[in-house]
């Protein structure tokens, strides 16, 4: 498969909707809580409070919204068990699991270039002062 540059794809008139969709997808998967939730769930199913402890620093509301968005997009499966007290587990779907490799590649890219990015930020910030 040949990968075409994003600028070529997004500048073609007939591709506008694809680029709009890509933007929506990147908004979902680029969110810090999404990345952390996918990372945590990559180890297997988890209950809400377990996931919240594993991620750390996320509010109940934010984790709920993140999981709902991932469930809506087909990346997370929510399973409620009819027990007392109620038991709910979250797990990655095959689509969600397919996201772990690209996220790992982006993480490696970020680690590799973090020094360059920090330098560029410092130069930019100093030029603004």
Q: Are 54 and 71 within one domain?
A: yes
110: confidence class by pLDDT, cuts 50, 70, 90: very high
Q: Whose structure tokens read 């694809």?
A: 18
Could you tell me if 39 and 92 lie in one domain? yes
Judgement on whether residues 19 and 48 belong to the same structural domain of the protein: no
Are 120 and 77 in a shared domain?
no
- CATH number at 62 reads 1.10.10.10
Q: Are 62 and 68 in contact (CB under 8 A)?
A: no
How many distinct structural domains can be found in the chain? 3
Q: What pLDDT score was predicted for residue 64? A: 97
**Cis peptide leading into residue 85 (ω within 30°):** yes
Higher-confidence residue of 91 and 31: namely 91
- Taking only the tens place, the pLDDT of each residue in 33-83 is 999 999 999 999 999 999 999 999 999 999 999 999 999 999 999 999 999
Comparing 6 with 63, which gets the higher pLDDT? 63
pLDDT attached to residue 17: 76
For 87, the token pair is 């038991």
Question: So what's the pLDDT on residue 7?
Answer: 58
121 and 110 co-located in one domain: yes
Are 114 and 67 found together in one domain? no
Q: Residue 8: pLDDT above 60?
A: no
* More confidently predicted of 44 and 21: 44
| Same-domain check for residues 77 and 41 | yes
Do 40 and 84 share a domain, yes or no? yes
Mean pLDDT score of the chain = 89
Same domain, 113 and 88: no
- H or E element that contains 87: strand 87-92
Q: Residue 23 belongs to what domain range? A: 1-30
90 and 117 belong to one structural domain: no
Cβ neighbours for 95, distance < 8 A, ≥ 6 positions apart: 73, 74, 75
**Among residues 19, 18, 57, which one has the least CA distance to residue 36?**
57
pLDDT for res 108 = 94
Residue 39 and residue 103 in contact, taking contact as beta carbons nearer than 8 Å: yes
pTM of the shown model: 0.79
Take residue 125 and report the two structure tokens written for it. 């910030």
40 and 89 together in one domain: yes
């Amino acid at each position: 498969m040949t990968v075409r540059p994003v600028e070529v794809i997004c500048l073609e008139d007939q591709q506008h909707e694809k680029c709009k969709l890509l933007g929506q997808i990147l908004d979902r998967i680029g969110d810090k809580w999404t990345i952390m939730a996918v990372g945590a769930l990559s180890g297997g199913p988890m209950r809400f409070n377990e996931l919240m402890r594993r991620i750390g620093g996320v509010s109940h509301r934010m984790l709920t919204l993140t999981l709902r968005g991932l469930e809506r997009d087909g990346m997370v499966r929510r399973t409620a068990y009819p027990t007392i007290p109620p038991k709910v587990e979250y797990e990655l779907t095959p689509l969600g699991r397919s996201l772990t490799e690209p996220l790992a590649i982006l993480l490696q890219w970020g680690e590799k270039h973090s020094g360059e990015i920090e330098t560029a930020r410092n130069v930019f910030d100093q030029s603004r002062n």
